[in-house]
Structure 1
Amino acid sequence: MKRHNLLFAACCAAAISMATPAYAGDNEGKIQLKAFATGVLPDGAITDVKTDLIGLPAGSQTRATDSYVPTIAAEYFLSSNFSIETICCITPHDVRGTGALARARLIENAIILPATVTAKYHFNLSEGVKPYLGAGPTHFFIFSEDVGADAAALGATDVNLSDELGFVLQAGLDLKLNDKGLGLSVDAKRYFVGTTATFRAGAATALQTKHDLDPWVISAGLAYRF
């Protein structure tokens, strides 16, 4: 859990470091903070089998479970139309079997920290209504994963999901509620990132598979700009 705490602190520090004063003469602040309720909806399908010493049955497939968590976003406006945003969250997931592995418990309690930075363009459609598009890099840190009961029954003693780099696309809408910086925000992100699952039996690699995570991340909540 020490790694978990360090990564969480680093992400929050990145958000705080963006909080600089507004430029003189601007009628809107340069900093926007958002508190969201967020759904993380990953895929988790197997895309390649690298090692298979246990003999997966034909039609074996997997999925990662959805997660619903609070998240925070911090955004710095370079101008009225351009901004840079980072997020702070961790999401727990399990991995279950589908197809020939239907309902099999394979991985439990995997925690993902999606270190993400996006560059965003904001459209001025009307007073107080600003839709936006964004894109940027992400790095998924995955930790705390445990062997599921059905994988353990097949002899797996340890499992690891690899950390990976990826890319994210973003779209959303900010709606101004008053002249004191309060607003509503809805946001949708599509991540393009995978992972490699390695199951070990003792010191030997018994199964190694590549997976698409590629989650949709849907958020809604309050924003405060200052």
Structure 2
Amino acid sequence: MRTITLLAALTAGTAATALATPALAGSPDGKLQVKVLATGVLPDGGIDKITSIDPGLAATLGTLGVGDVDAKASDNVVPTLAVEYFFSKAVSVETICCFTQHHVNGAADLAGTRLVDHVLILPATLTAKLHLDTGGPIKPYLGAGPAWFVVFDEKPGATAEALGVDRVKMSNSLGLALQGGVDIALGQSGYGISLDAKKYFVKPTARFYAGEAKVLETKHDLDPWVVSAGLSYRF
């Protein structure tokens, strides 16, 4: 949590510096745009398939009456910094920076249990965007591009620990992001409002260990919706 708080402070400070610098003359037709956003990260996290399971763990789950193993990742709201470069009025590229923290609960026969107590994700994303020039301040856009989910600081949940798991590792994953939104210019000063939605398609692998032995490996449909709203400055 301290990492996320520090990131929020650094993001706000960077954006405030950019917005307050007199030398950066704002314009709704500028080449660069910086956005400070509040972002909701709404992942699925369901298990796509169980790649491997230790026979002893399988027997334990069967004894507990667990036949259908599934999962659901928690939602989160985080600050986001986006930086965008315009090649023309119609074409731009954008990258975002944020950290988002989640836990993974059991679903189906494991409903109400905690599998992963803490996981931190950096969803590095680069999208190419096409903008519609409406002749007014409201400019919709569509975008798409690669996303690299960097995962770290995983911790097993109470249910996993009760089954003998003392370590969990989720893989970094390459995926795809589709994007749609609208920029609304507030006059000619370069300031504006941005509304954005992204759908990610990412399938990380989770590996659960008891000591040095891998007892469970699962493939997950993380596939989050990421929705954002905030202020922009173009110059």
Matching residue's letter, 1:81: A
CA distance in 2, matches of 1:71, 1:103: 31
Equivalent residue number for residue 227 of structure 2: 218
3-state secondary structure, aligned to 2:204: strand
Q: Structure 1 residue aligned with 2:142, among 133, 139, 146? A: 133
Whether 1:96 and 2:105 are equivalent positions in the alignment is yes
Residues 82-91 or 98-107, more deviating: 98-107
3-state secondary structure, aligned to 1:145: strand
CA distance in 1, matches of 2:229, 2:28: 25
Equivalent residue number for residue 43 of structure 1: 44
Identity in percent: 50
The TM-score normalised by the length of structure 1 is 0.88
Once the 2 structures are TM-superposed, how far is the Cα of residue 27 of structure 1 from its aligned partner? 6.8
Matching residue's letter, 2:145: G
Once the 2 structures are TM-superposed, how far is the Cα of residue 51 of structure 1 from its aligned partner? 1.3
Once the 2 structures are TM-superposed, how far is the Cα of residue 125 of structure 1 from its aligned partner? 1.7
CA distance in 2, matches of 1:100, 1:126: 55
Once the 2 structures are TM-superposed, how far is the Cα of residue 191 of structure 1 from its aligned partner? 0.2
Equivalent residue number for residue 30 of structure 1: 31
Q: Structure 2 residue aligned with 1:195, among 204, 207, 223? A: 204
The structure-2 alpha-carbon separation of the partners of 1:66 and 1:27, relative to structure 1 and needing over 3 Å to count, comes to closer
Q: Structure 1 residue aligned with 2:152, among 131, 134, 143? A: 143
Matching residue's letter, 1:37: A
Q: Structure 2 residue aligned with 1:109, among 111, 115, 118? A: 118
CA distance in 2, matches of 1:47, 1:129: 40
CA distance in 2, matches of 1:28, 1:197: 45
Query: Which one has a larger percent helix, Structure 1 or Structure 2?
Result: 2
Whether 1:182 and 2:191 are equivalent positions in the alignment is yes
CA distance in 2, matches of 1:69, 1:79: 30
CA distance in 2, matches of 1:65, 1:27: 37
Per-residue CA deviations over 1:150-206 (Å, capped at 9, x if unaligned) read 100100010000001000000000001121100001000000001111000011100
Matching residue's letter, 2:52: T
CA distance in 2, matches of 1:139, 1:177: 33
Per-residue CA deviations over 1:121-143 (Å, capped at 9, x if unaligned) read 00012311100000000100000
Q: Which runs of 5+ in 1 are unaligned?
A: none
Per-residue CA deviations over 1:15-47 (Å, capped at 9, x if unaligned) read 99xx9x99xxx8721000001010000000111
Equivalent residue number for residue 167 of structure 2: 158
3-state secondary structure, aligned to 2:71: strand
The TM-score normalised by the length of structure 2 is 0.85
Regions of 4+ moved over 4 Å: none
